[in-house]
Chains A and B, each alone.
Chain A
């Protein structure tokens, strides 16, 4: 089955840049998107179509894609960015969607 692999955790100091990767196990992959989820809260879309940012999401959030890996980059990390981040993509068959396992971002 289709899998998306994320690092379990990433830690950065405030003001630094956090990069969270998401690797697919098959080529080619579809567009990916990213969600932020804070404890006890509903997920929030922060990136869609690999690199597009929804309205209302700060510019410090950006996305990129290379081969079968997509990356969420948070520039100038703030304490409020501490959360779990999930990538998501659709299987190439178009029959189902998959989430990555999630990455816990800790702001030191």
Chain B
């Protein structure tokens, strides 16, 4: 079964750093882009960026460039999303999703999400 398993919910203070993870299984991790998506409370889906674990080619949406870092460790089939200094406005649900080449790179498998709460 193709799965993306995300790390658990986080509660952090403003200014702290954070890295959340997304582990793929049941498919060839290195040949599928992984997308990160933000959903703020009561709001829509926003594309953060994508990474190709095979060679770590990473691309960011303009709104998120410089705000977060996306990385991957193909040896353990895991992608990461990290912040160096969190803000309250980073509080949101964060999803990772697999982009399927055969589907025009639409995201056919999603993780359950990691809820990040940033509060003093």
What total of chain A residues lie within 8 Å of the partner, measured CB to CB?
A: 26
Count of A-B contacts with CB under 8 A?
71
Contacts A42-B111, A42-B112; is A48 near B103 (CB within 8 Å)? Answer: yes
Contact B103 A49 (CB under 8 A): yes
Of the listed stretches B12-20, B23-31, B59-67, B84-92, name the one at the interface; the rest are far from the partner chain. B59-67
Residues of A within 8 A of B95 (CB): 42-43
Listed residue (B35, B60, B107) with the most chain A CB atoms within 10 angstroms of its CB? B107
Interface size for chain B: under 10, 10 to 19, 20 to 34, or 35 or more residues?
20 to 34
Residues of B within 8 A of A96 (CB): 47, 49-50, 59-62
Answer whether residue A31 sits at the interface, using C-beta atoms and an 8 A cutoff: yes
Q: Which of A49, A99, A102 contacts B104 (CB 8 A)?
A: A49
How far is B103's CA from A90's CA once the two chains are assembled, in angstroms? 13
Answer whether residue A7 sits at the interface, using C-beta atoms and an 8 A cutoff: no
Q: Which of B95-120 contact A (CB under 8 A)?
A: 95, 97, 100, 103-108, 110-113
**Contact string against B for A residues 72-108, beta-carbon threshold 8 Å, 1 for contact and 0 otherwise:** 0000000000001010101000111111111000000
